[in-house]
Structure 1
Amino acid sequence: MTGSLNDQFLHETVLLHETVEALLPYSGIYIDGTFGRGGHSRLLLSKLSPESTLIVFDKDPLAIAEAKRLAAEDGRVVVIQAGFAQMQQEMEARGLLGKVNGILLDLGVSSPQLDDASRGFSFKADGPLDMRMNPEAGVSAADWIASVREEELADVLFKYGDERFSRRIAKGIVLARERQPITTTLQLAEIIKESHPKWDHKKHPATKSFQAIRIFINGELDELDAVLEGSLKVLKQGGRLAVISFHSLEDRAVKQFIRLQAQGPELPPGLPVMESSIDRKMRAVGKAIKATAQEVKVNVRSRSATLRVAERL
């Protein structure tokens, strides 16, 4: 493969300016926990002071290749091939706990991952049923579906996809795999479609099921919980956390985390406590931010995006 990966699959960075603007003051150590194709990182670098450092994380080998190209152009960039759940561990190893000015997380899959049929994320184009953020590690969706119990599959579809017909779809998948192995995305999408009794014809019937399987295969919600908790130790006082989420499960986790840290620990009712003695670890910065109508018109994938920002106290 020659040239930039951006030449192969274009990526429209969601809430680009809103997210970078939330990470003031643009001096010190910053982390992009989801480098992707570097849209947020490049804009952030254009604003960071010359002595600043930008540490970028990603599991995806293609994203890491792009990040290394950027690092070759800009000495302020440090590249780590790991999921953002490893952020606290990596910062501790570098002696940077409590020294980071800003953390940026753009959750979910990137446009290039969705558009590249060989990655197995899309139900719109045929490709191997993989769905791993890092194809070199873990269990593929095809291997998992080949052996998962029907009850567990139904639970995953319901829990991570909010799929009302999870049990019917799980039964359909199990019956289909008895006839032949399920190895491609369109094969699975068609099975789900045939098993789905009712769907919104504006949305593909496999949408929720593919989301659920992807989240489960990659342990996305567990990783999100880990990085949110880790941010408390990674960020310095006044440092900011900016998180873009794309579905209600992610956004709910981020919202509840910020609210809990802003409220402080739960205390027994009636216990006399001075406001100044409550251990509040974060404060919410403004309200949740959604993509503008203009951005949604240009990039339809931004319509479900929500940005939340918090500051370490």
Structure 2
Amino acid sequence: MDKESNVTFVTLDWYVEINKYRYIFFFIMFTIYILILCSNSTIVYLIWIHKNLHEPMYIFIAALLLNSVLYTTNVYPKLLIGFLSEKQVTTYSACLFQFFMFYTLGGSEVWLLAAMAYDRYVAICKPLQYQTIMRKTTVSISLIIAWLVSGCHMAVLAIASTEAKLCDFKVKGIFCNNAVYTLQCERSRLITIFGVITLLDLAILPMLFVVFTYTKIFIVSYQSCKEIRKKATETCLPHMLVLISAIVFFVYDISIARVELDFPKTARIIMTLQIVVYHPLFNPFIYGLKMKEILKHLKGLQAKFITCIKIGC
């Protein structure tokens, strides 16, 4: 511990194992970060400028991809600076802020997937009522709830953690996730109880809701004509892929922080990096290639870019 002016410093205990390869890791992670920013921002831009994409389904996709940009920006800049630094030291308050943003945006993603699932449920199971139910007000409230509920839950845990007494000052990870709890001498009852509530509200209940809605969608689609089954597959498959990966990474994040496994630290680092790589990187490709309207506009943007290069604009 180092205290100056009542500021507590903590160390990210990961750099020793990769010190020899830190410039390689920096180049790889910097490239991935740029790809994440460009790919997600491109889809959001297309949805923003094309009026035919100003529908609830595409607005939720844009919100999800914007959430991915914020999610990675919370982790990557500090991570990249760490690769170039001799010591990975940060203040405990900055660590808690990263922890707060990491799980706020992670929880928001699950809620956004739940909102997207409900939108598809109404579109396929109640098509005649779709315009009445999925109004602009409904979409706006859904987006506000997705970010507000998650933020309020995590604010309680972050504020409670600021009052906790610390017995360790080395975070076992590459960024401040729920490994910050291992720094505390004793986890308070508030953090324990509210942690369970947060787990239910931000992960389990939204996921159960998504499973329920997609079950209803597939039942209705199976009983309907071939065209409806095709529509359901085209619109729901991307959401299902993202949901499955979200569940996998959620379980992985919980287990990697709580279960002490006997394997090299480098392997743990590489495995932990998957949490902030695969999902934000592959989401825009999943939606860009699987959603016909977005793919059409992507091809148009590509054609304009090629033309621009040829004529030297």
TM-score by length of 1: 0.28
Instruction: Please identify which structure carries the higher strand content.
Output: 1
TM-score by length of 2: 0.28
